[in-house]
């Protein structure tokens, strides 16, 4: 059994399938779901945990290493042969016998010890250790980084995340359908529409609901509006990383403009609660188009400013470089992967995007500049898609589609969308109109290990710049 599980998954990886998710449930069922990058078909591989153990896939498939550590922490199943089974989410403050996913609803009792876990460091002459976090000097999400340095250069980065772990998946269990969206919305502010859409798609697919072209266009507008917002934020942070304040402040001003548009048009500055099963928030097309052109009038000179500033470009080139090989090996996703030449964007596999999406935008350098440029191009493509979808909507008469999901809805489905950070996956199982298992796998989860590799060999002073060019959210990784 063991070998066939390993063999099957290895074959899928070798055939360049994309890993959607590895999901465990309380009854000991393990499922890996893979996506065929050619046709979008899902392939599932299943295994039953026996004796609390299962054969690890991590040695052959490094992108699964974190998933298996997570399963170990939350369920207690042991991945046999895992190369690095340190706790990922678990902290020394949890009781040894506390496995939160085994008995949801159970309150934790915390032991009176420090939450920190032992770090992996480099030892030797001249090596110094620098610890940063979990609290930071600016307004940043919490994360704990242990750098091994030689002089100014980073030898190794051990990132200890999951300070923001809120146990969202356990909270979702047993929830009736109508209580899911508010929570899914708030897992991550940067990828909220993508998360909301995944939930909506899951319910619609299980209920056999067919989205009208209008609903599809409304959703594409929201998903792309979120990408514009998130890319503006990230594009603002990269110049900040090298002290290019003019570009930073002007990008923040564009972001503010866009957020106030979103508030007026859709009711929320981050688009919280704008997508539900069978529904999406919509705005009058002419108002949307007017706001779009106002944003463009700031965007065009800003793009010229950052593209023509040689000092800025010099500071980005060759910094935090990753190779396509590393990207493929670690199963990296999104902007970070496309910046190194991986031609993959989940939108290409979503049939409802087919009219508007023109294909992945890639670079080859894999460095800070590559990631910066992918975002520049993607933002412009998103503005175009919003425009086209808005024009499309203005030509049709809006008809509300009525959809009330059956109260006894049951089944299991894996849905995905391309969030601003990459392919975002939800694995949803329902029974009689209640959630029995909800697993969320954000793109950034796969990209953190790549970031650790990208910083090695760079000076420690460049870490903020490299980190900002990846702009991996913590909250949807930690959940």
Among ligand SF4, another protein, none, what binds residue 362 when CB lies within 5 to 8 Å by partner kind?
none
Question: Residues 174 to 213: which contact ligand SF4 by CB under 6 A?
Answer: 186, 189
What is the pattern of x (binds another protein, CB under 8 A) and - over residues 70-109? ---------------------x-x------x-----xxx-
Residue whose CB is less far from another protein, 113 or 402: 113
CA distances from 280 to 81, 251, 271, 277, 445 (A): 46, 28, 11, 8, 27
Residue whose CB is less far from ligand SF4, 89 or 190: 190
Q: For residue 111, is it left (φ>0), alpha (ψ between -120 and 50) or beta?
A: beta
Among another protein, ligand SF4, none, what binds residue 2 when CB lies within 5 to 8 Å by partner kind?
none
Q: How far is the CB of 155 from another protein (least distance, A)?
A: 26
Query: Residue 279's beta-bridge partner residues?
Result: 276
β-pairing verdict for 78-80 and 53-55: parallel
- Cβ atoms of 426 and 198 closer than 8 Å: yes
Q: How far is the CB of 372 from another protein (least distance, A)?
A: 19
Q: Cα–Cα distance between 425 and 332 in angstroms, integer?
A: 14
Tell me the three state secondary structure of residue 279.
strand
Among another protein, ligand SF4, none, what binds residue 309 when CB lies within 5 to 8 Å by partner kind?
none
Question: Residues 107 to 166: which contact another protein by CB under 8 A?
Answer: 107-108, 110, 114-115, 134-135, 137-142, 162-166
Among another protein, ligand SF4, none, what binds residue 141 when CB lies within 5 to 8 Å by partner kind?
another protein
Measured N-to-C along each axis, helices 213-240 and 368-395 cross at an angle, to the nearest 10 degrees, of: 150
List CB contacts of 328: < 8 A, sequence separation 6 or more.
Answer: 342
Among ligand SF4, another protein, none, what binds residue 461 when CB lies within 5 to 8 Å by partner kind?
none
Among another protein, ligand SF4, none, what binds residue 85 when CB lies within 5 to 8 Å by partner kind?
none
Residue whose CB is less far from ligand SF4, 186 or 309: 186
- Cβ atoms of 346 and 216 closer than 8 Å: no
Residue whose CB is less far from another protein, 99 or 147: 99
Among ligand SF4, another protein, none, what binds residue 416 when CB lies within 5 to 8 Å by partner kind?
none
Question: Residues 257 to 296: which contact ligand SF4 by CB under 6 A?
Answer: none
CA distances from 20 to 103, 255, 415, 471 (A): 26, 31, 9, 21
Contact segment (CB under 8 A) with another protein among 42-50, 122-130, 206-214, 249-257 equals 249-257
Residue whose CB is less far from another protein, 107 or 461: 107
Tell me the three state secondary structure of residue 155.
strand
Q: Cα–Cα distance between 468 and 479 in angstroms, integer?
A: 20
Q: Cα–Cα distance between 363 and 323 in angstroms, integer?
A: 11
Q: Cα–Cα distance between 17 and 409 in angstroms, integer?
A: 30
Burial class (CB within 10 angstroms; exposed 0-12, middle 13-18, buried 19+) of 261: buried
Q: How far is the CB of 273 from ligand SF4 (least distance, A)?
A: 11
Structure tokens at 392: 């499309």
Q: Cα–Cα distance between 420 and 271 in angstroms, integer?
A: 14
Q: How far is the CB of 186 from ligand SF4 (least distance, A)?
A: 4
Q: How far is the CB of 326 from another protein (least distance, A)?
A: 26
Q: How far is the CB of 171 from ligand SF4 (least distance, A)?
A: 12
Residue whose CB is less far from ligand SF4, 198 or 369: 198
In eight-state DSSP terms, residue 52 is: T
Question: Which residue reads 């024009």 in tokens?
Answer: 391
- Buried (b) or exposed (e) across 151-175, using 16+ Cβ within 10 A? eeebbbbbbbbbbbbeebbbbbbeb
Q: How many residues interact with another protein (rule CB under 8 A)? A: 48
Among ligand SF4, another protein, none, what binds residue 298 when CB lies within 5 to 8 Å by partner kind?
none
Q: How far is the CB of 161 from ligand SF4 (least distance, A)?
A: 17
With CB under 8 A as the contact rule, the residue among 182, 267, 318, 411 that binds another protein is: 182
Contact segment (CB under 8 A) with another protein among 24-32, 211-219, 433-441, 468-476 equals 468-476
Contact status: 131 vs ligand SF4 (CB under 6 A): no
Q: For residue 257, is it left (φ>0), alpha (ψ between -120 and 50) or beta?
A: alpha
Q: Cα–Cα distance between 292 and 226 in angstroms, integer?
A: 13
Q: What is the dihedral of CA 476, 36, 329, 80, to 10 degrees?
A: 80
Among another protein, ligand SF4, none, what binds residue 474 when CB lies within 5 to 8 Å by partner kind?
another protein
Residue whose CB is less far from ligand SF4, 86 or 186: 186
Among ligand SF4, another protein, none, what binds residue 420 when CB lies within 5 to 8 Å by partner kind?
none
The site for another protein (CB under 8 A) is made up of 91, 93, 100, 106-108, 110, 114-115, 134-135, 137-142, 162-168, 170-171, 182-183, 186-190, 192, 233, 249, 252-253, 255-256, 259, 263, 269-270, 272, 473-475
Residues that bind ligand SF4 (CB under 6 A): 186, 189
């Amino acid at each position: 059994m063991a070998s066939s599980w390993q063999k099957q998954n290895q074959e899928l990886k070798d055939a360049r399938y994309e890993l959607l998710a590895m999901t465990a449930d309380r009854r000991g069922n393990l499922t890996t779901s893979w996506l065929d990058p050619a046709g979008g078909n899902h392939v599932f591989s299943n295994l039953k945990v026996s004796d609390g153990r299962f054969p690890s896939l991590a040695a052959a498939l490094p992108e699964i290493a974190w998933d298996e550590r997570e399963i170990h922490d939350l369920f207690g199943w042991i991945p046999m042969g895992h190369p690095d089974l340190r706790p990922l989410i678990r902290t020394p403050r949890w009781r040894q016998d506390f496995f939160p996913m085994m008995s949801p609803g159970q309150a934790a009792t915390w032991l009176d010890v420090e939450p920190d876990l032992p770090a992996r460091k480099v030892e030797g002459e001249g090596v110094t250790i620098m610890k940063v976090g979990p609290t930071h000097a600016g307004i940043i999400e919490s994360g704990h980084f242990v750098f091994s340095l030689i002089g100014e250069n980073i030898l190794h980065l051990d990132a200890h995340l999951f300070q923001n772990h809120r146990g969202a998946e356990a909270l979702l269990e047993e929830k009736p359908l109508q209580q899911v969206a508010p929570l899914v919305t708030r897992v991550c502010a940067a990828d909220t529409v993508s998360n909301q859409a995944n939930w909506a798609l899951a319910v619609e697919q299980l209920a056999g609901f067919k989205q009208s072209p209008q609903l599809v266009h409304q959703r594409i507008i929201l998903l792309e509006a979120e990408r514009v917002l998130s890319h503006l934020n990230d594009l603002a942070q990269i110049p900040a990383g090298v002290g290019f304040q003019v570009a930073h402040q002007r990008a923040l001003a564009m972001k503010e403009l866009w957020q106030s548009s979103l508030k007026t048009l859709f009711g929320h500055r981050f688009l919280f609660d704008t997508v539900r099963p069978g529904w999406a928030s919509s705005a009058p097309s002419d108002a949307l188009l007017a706001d779009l052109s106002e944003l463009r009038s700031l965007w065009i000179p800003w793009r010229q400013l950052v593209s023509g500033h040689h000092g800025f470009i010099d500071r980005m080139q060759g910094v935090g470089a990753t190779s396509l090989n590393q990207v493929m090996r670690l199963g990296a996703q999104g902007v970070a992967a496309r910046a190194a030449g991986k031609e993959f964007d989940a939108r290409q596999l979503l049939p409802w995007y087919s009219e508007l999406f023109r294909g992945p935008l890639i670079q080859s350098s894999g460095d800070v500049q590559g990631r910066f440029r992918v975002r520049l191009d993607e933002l412009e493509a998103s503005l175009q898609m919003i425009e086209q979808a808005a024009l499309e909507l203005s030509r049709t008469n809006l008809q509300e589609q009525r959809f009330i999901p059956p109260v006894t809805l049951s089944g299991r489905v894996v849905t995905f969308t391309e969030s601003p950070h990459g392919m975002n996956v939800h694995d949803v199982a329902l029974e009689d109109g209640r959630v029995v298992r909800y697993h969320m796998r954000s793109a950034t989860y796969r990209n953190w290990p790549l970031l650790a590799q990208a910083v090695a060999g760079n000076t420690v002073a460049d870490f903020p710049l490299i980190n900002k060019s990846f702009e991996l959210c913590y909250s949807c990784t930690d959940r």
